[in-house]
Chain A
Amino acid sequence: MQYTAGTSVAGAARVEGVKYDEDIVKMFLIASVTWAVVGLLVGVIIALQLAWWPANLGLPWTTFGRLRPLHTNAVIFAFGGNIVFTGMYHSMQRLLKTRMWSDTLSRIHFWGWQLIIVSAAVTLPLGLTQAKEYAELIWPIDIAITLIWVVMAVNFFGTLAIRKVEHLYVAIWFYMSFVLVIAVLHITNSMAMPATLTRSYPVYAGLTDALVQWWYGHNAVGFFLTTPFLGLMYYYLPRISGRPVFSYRLSIIHFWALVFLYIWAGPHHLLYSALPEWAQTLGMIFSVMLIAPSWGGMLNGLLTLRGAWDRVRTDPILKFLVVAVSFYGMSTFEGPMMSIRAVNLLSHYTNWTIGHVHSGALGWNGMISFAMIYWLVPELWKRPLAHPTWPTAHFWLATIGIVLYTVSMWAAGLTEGLMWRAFDDSGLLKYPNFVDIVNQLHPFYWLRLVGGLMFLTGAIMMAINVFQTISRPSSSTAAAA
């Protein structure tokens, strides 16, 4: 037997007597599409607030400081989380040739996760926060996340235990690292002493708190936005393109190297800070090394498409996949580069970081999610898309949107980074007034807003397309009626 996607992944063929739980996949998919629109909309609103401050509306709960965490939590944990769970529940059952271990746990996971998202959407605008980036949610919600995560993990390992295939396919390795590592990160970083029902203080102080937070924060990127999405890539890319995974050996090497190296990279968020030198150096070295396993994954993805390139020209789903994997490669080149101290001295604290994050989040996570959604909806609901031509339009809107977004943020980041440290002939600061530098950024902020709006428009088109497709009667019921 070949260890190839062609055999392991092509498992649309069902094992006798196994009925997959398709409803849970549909539920997570609908949630993901919905939260994508919400999260991106909040992103566009806060982009407008930077270009035009009156958009803060003069209300406490709509200020940038409160909405920005809402945006990041919504896109990462609501949109990103739900699409990962969609893909996990869909692909795991097929890869392991079994239904999920417990339908009840699947549903507790689904509703618990949505409830956590809703409680985040209520508490963050109210100013209830732990003020640690990507870990803002207050301690009762943190406990809820832990419980729901355990429910999900029990179901995950339960399903592995009842699997009908012997060997775990590479996608499952990546899902497993996600399930395990996020638990470790979340629990360690959230250790706090409650003062009231809505306020708590981390047990760590100062730079130790900062190191733990960025160990968590960077690995939220590593194990929430990278490894599970690589798992999705290893299932859906071969499945959609009909091509076997390029190299099994490469997948082994880059998996273990990635999970080992990623966890060290956090301190690159604290370069030139008062964090002890040894920790900064470790963070920089491991971040630079990360390029190797990251590009291993990218190459394994792109080379899987060999022989299918002619179809990329016509198939919008393959277009999304190619651009997704390419942006993964691009942002995993940019990240290590920005972790070099000399580069970081310029890029840190600037919009360059914002551009970097979005080339990864919009380009990699967003595009691969859209590909999955467009492929899964006709599969799951057994009917063609209501608007079969819209995905191509969505693709171009999203791609051009990302380019406008990242280019404007690079330009803004370089502008402010260079102006902050510019000296005049007498050796004094050339632009001592901070606001003068802020005012140089407005054209870039407006351009970014245009890019963000294009990306949001594409996502809204997708949502309309999905909801119109699934609300139609299916072809079989139509025939029966």
Chain B
Amino acid sequence: MSDQTPQSGYAAAHRTLEGKSALFAVLTTVVILIGGIVEIIPMFSATAGPEHLAGVTPYTPLEQAGRDIYTSEGCYVCHSQMIRPTRAEVLRYGEWTRAGEYEYDHPFQLGSRRMGPDLQRVGGKYPDAWHFEHMRDPRSTSPGSVMPPYTWLHEGTYDVADIQASLRALQKVGVPYTDEEIANAPQAIQAQAQEITARLAQAGITTQPDRKIVALIAYLQRLGKDGKAAIAAQQAAQAAVPPGATP
């Protein structure tokens, strides 16, 4: 061994430090906090953090219920919600994702793996009936898919009181639901669910508005839609400003 007990330099200083376990612990903590603080704190600032996108709205109560099903089933394990700004991705999935689109997402669902396609702009891409059938038997709509069927969503029901509890928690972490909206959630849920079951009925599918699949369809059909509209509005506003003018 070449390292004798060091007599001088940083190794000797370190040798002293090794005799002081509390100081060692404090130094270790300070060293690891630096990176965390420098990266995380600015995310809460309006200028350095994620850019706000006007026009993005919180999920309706039924959509949030669908989002809870999405997270519970672990959809994020196979599907991303993040379109990167490349031509191939924009051609395949649509407009690339802006930071402000996630403003009301608790938790985030960007995903890390695409076993299946990205879902950022799946809202409006297929009719409700497609999603209904796809969850019942993925291969009926997408031959060759490796996705498991989710038949229990067609039988299971969501709990309205549960959704209200979720909305209250989300309100506390900053999603701008009003007390009135939360109180009136049962009616809003009922109305939106019936719109979906009516559209399904037109496609010859009979189901009840209280089924989990209805909430999930509500969520999937809204994914990326308000963001896309907000991006279009932003671009139109920018185009309306004559070149050289300062807005």
Contact = CB atoms under 8 A, between A and B. Distances in A.
Interface of A: 1-4, 6, 49-50, 53, 56, 58, 60, 63-66, 68-69, 127-133, 157, 160-161, 163, 166-168, 173, 176-177, 180-181, 184, 188, 192-196, 199-213, 215, 244-245, 247-249, 252, 256, 259-264, 266-267, 269-270, 272-276, 278-279, 282-283, 286, 345, 348-350, 353-354, 416, 420-423, 428-429, 432, 434-436, 438-439
Given A131-B76, A168-B21, 20 more contacts: A2-B1, A127-B72, A131-B109, A167-B19, A168-B18, A176-B28, A180-B29, A195-B162, A208-B43, A210-B102, A248-B6, A248-B11, A274-B50, A274-B97, A422-B88, A429-B92, A432-B92, A434-B116, A435-B143, A438-B145
B112 A252 contact: no
A209 B109 CA distance: 9
Given A129-B72, A273-B110, A276-B48, A202 B32 contact: no
A464 to B, nearest CB: 32
B240 interface: no
Nearest to A250: B3
A205 B170 CA distance: 10
A195 B166 contact: yes
Contacts of A244: 1
B127 interface: no
The list of the 3 closest CB pairs from A to B, nearest first, reads A206-B102, A65-B74, A56-B148
B63 interface: no
Contacts of A180: 25, 28-29, 32
Nearest to B2: A247
Interface centre among A66, A188, A210, A283 (most CB of B within 10 A): A210
B183 interface: no
Contacts of A283: 39
Contacts of B39: 211, 215, 264, 266-267, 279, 282-283
A260 B32 contact: yes
B169 to A, nearest CB: 4
B43 A272 contact: no
A465 B43 CA distance: 51
Contacts of B75: 65
Contacts of A132: 107-108
A306 to B, nearest CB: 11
B105 A205 contact: yes
14 contacts: A3-B3, A50-B146, A65-B74, A129-B71, A131-B72, A132-B107, A166-B18, A181-B32, A199-B166, A212-B40, A213-B108, A249-B10, A272-B84, A272-B85
A163 B22 CA distance: 13
What interface size band does chain B fall in? 35 or more
Nearest to A434: B117
Nearest to B169: A195
Contact of B113 (A266, A353, A439): A353
B107 A176 contact: no
Contact of A349 (B25, B98, B114): B114
B145 A200 contact: no
Nearest to B20: A168
Nearest to A257: B31
Contact of B80 (A157, A206, A349): A349
Interface in B197-219: none
A50 B115 contact: yes
A274 B99 contact: yes
A261 B38 CA distance: 12
B31 A259 contact: yes
B73 interface: yes
A272 B86 contact: yes
B86 A68 contact: no
B108 A345 contact: no
Contacts of A181: 28-29, 32
Interface string B1-24: 111111000110011001101001
